[in-house]
Amino acid sequence: MDKLVITAALNGAEVTRIQSPHVPISPQEIAAAAVAAAAAGASIVHVHARRDDGTPTQDKRVYQEIIERIRAVSDVIVQVSTGGAVGMTAEERGDVIALAPEMATLTTGTVNFGAGVFMNEPAVIERFADMMRLHGVRPEIEVFDVGMIAAAKRLVDGGKLSLPLHFDLVLGVPGAIPGEIRHLMHMVSELPAGCTWTAAGVGRAQLPIATAAILLGGHVRVGLEDNIYYSRGRLAVSNAELVARIARLAQELGRDIADAGEARRIVGIFGRP
């Protein structure tokens, strides 16, 4: 079994300071949260850019500042979002790929997302895949339902993606697959042979899904993007606190934690810093 790769989803596009005063907003705050999460055991940080007022943006300049600030002090893998926020255009969302980050999310289908719709038309998915290949970006195939795994397989058949892939199985988004372990096991059973995967449980599903992923040989994503609580009624004070819990749990369950260099090998990033 590979060492455990922990991803810290630092801030997302939707979580506000009203919901949690601990969500990082500015490039300085995001970089500091990334460094702290890495010190706690994360080898990948998943980031969304925000404007000064906290609203989401896909501005390349903001992402560039975030990436440079993190790289100046840490070798943690920086994974950017091409999902952006619900309602953004495909042009806005994909612009960040030109920065050639080590890794970026690639969602392979459309899904109801709370009160909105996260649109991903086939032509947009293929264009993002082409852009990632052009710029040497390792895609993380982000799926919110089982059909998106089938869609990823079709992209492989069409030459847009190459095996082995690395998947992020997201469970518990209202409108998508529920955050239950039986659904996680079904999604894992549908993955192409030889692929690696991370599981992300949203809200109260975060801890049980993470625990199951550790035991099943997958990897884990936690963070304030997916869940702002540490326990019932108690806000998590940082992404690092959520990461540290997973690192402790993995140790108790006999799973070693991957550092950034080991994580690059596991998820298929080669020839990068």
Q: Is residue 44 part of a domain?
A: yes
Q: Is residue 1 part of a domain?
A: no
pLDDT band at 47 (very low <50, low <70, confident <90, very high): very high
pLDDT band at 273 (very low <50, low <70, confident <90, very high): very low
Structural domains in the chain (count): 1
What is the per-residue pLDDT across 145-176, written as a single tens digit (0 to 9) for each? 999 999 999 999 999 999 999 999 999 999 99
Give me 113's structure tokens: 């997302």
* 2-11, 33-42, 68-77, 114-123: least confident range: 114-123
pLDDT above 70 for 271? no
Give me 80's structure tokens: 């950017």
Q: Is residue 272 part of a domain?
A: no
What is the per-residue pLDDT across 177-233, written as a single tens digit (0 to 9) for each? 999 999 999 999 999 999 999 999 999 999 999 999 999 999 999 999 999 999 999
How far, CA to CA in Å, does 6 sit from each of 156, 166, 240? 26, 13, 11
Q: Is residue 144 part of a domain?
A: yes
Which CATH number covers residue 67? 3.20.20.70
CB 63 within 8 A of CB 31: no
What average pLDDT does range 253-271 have in this prediction? 95
Q: Is residue 273 part of a domain?
A: no
CB 272 within 8 A of CB 108: no
Domain range enclosing 23? 6-267
CA 235 to chain centre: 21
Q: Is residue 13 part of a domain?
A: yes
Q: Is residue 41 part of a domain?
A: yes
CB 148 within 8 A of CB 187: no
Instruction: Name 205's Cβ contacts closer than 8 Å, sequence gap at least 6.
Output: 171, 172, 178, 179, 180
Give me 180's structure tokens: 């239950």
